[in-house]
Structure formats: C-alpha cells, structure tokens
Amino acid sequence: MKTDQEYQAKWLKLFNQYKISNQTMKAFCLIHNVKVYQLQYWLKKYKQRAKDNSISFTEVNVIKQPIVETSIRITSGKLVIEIPNNFNEGTLLKLLKVVDQLV
C-alpha cells in the first residue's frame, strides 16, 4: 500500500500531466486508468493549494519621522507673534486685544 506522500505525489504528477495534455478530462482518465471524479477531486485540491500559497505577507518598514512642532506666525510691520501648536486660546485672545490697542 502506498504512503500518503506517494499517493499525493502520484496525483500531483497526473495533475501536471493533465494541465499540459489539452485532452478532455474523460479522455485523459481513460488513458491513465483513473476515474473522472478522482481527477476532479485532485484538481480542486491542487487549485485550492495554489490559491492558498498565493497569499503572502510583505515586510513593511516604518520610518519614524521626528515630530515637528508647527506654529503659527503673525507679522505686522516689526511685530512678530509666533503661536505654538498647543496654544491656550484665552492667552491668545488677551494677546490679540493688546496688539489691537498698539496698532
């Protein structure tokens, strides 16, 4: 009795022969003395394996960029106001009132 590996190797060989034979399934099975339903089973099995093997993973390299603190810069003549990204709204409103009185 053949081992499972030998049996699978036999069907893999038949599967590959069938793929290149350009014969109908029935004609191929008659010549190779196998049943059509067996060939159909193994065709389905090997197609599923090929589909499963086509799924692969790709390595993704993440490049960490330094966090750049952005700010808002307001200029009016010689006056320059630079507001950091994490500004306090209340302080900004007070500052704008003072600037409004100066200009």
Question: Beta partners for 74?
Answer: 81
Using one digit for the tens of pLDDT, what is the confidence trace for 47-80? Answer: 887 777 766 667 778 888 777 777 888 787 787 8
In one letter, which amino acid is 65?
Answer: Q
Which band of pLDDT confidence, cut at 50, 70 and 90, is reported for residue 99?
Answer: confident
Is residue 5 scored above 70 in pLDDT?
yes
What integer pLDDT is reported at residue 50 of this predicted model? 75
Q: Are the C-beta atoms of residues 66 and 77 closer than 8 Å to each other?
A: no
Is residue 3 scored above 80 in pLDDT?
no
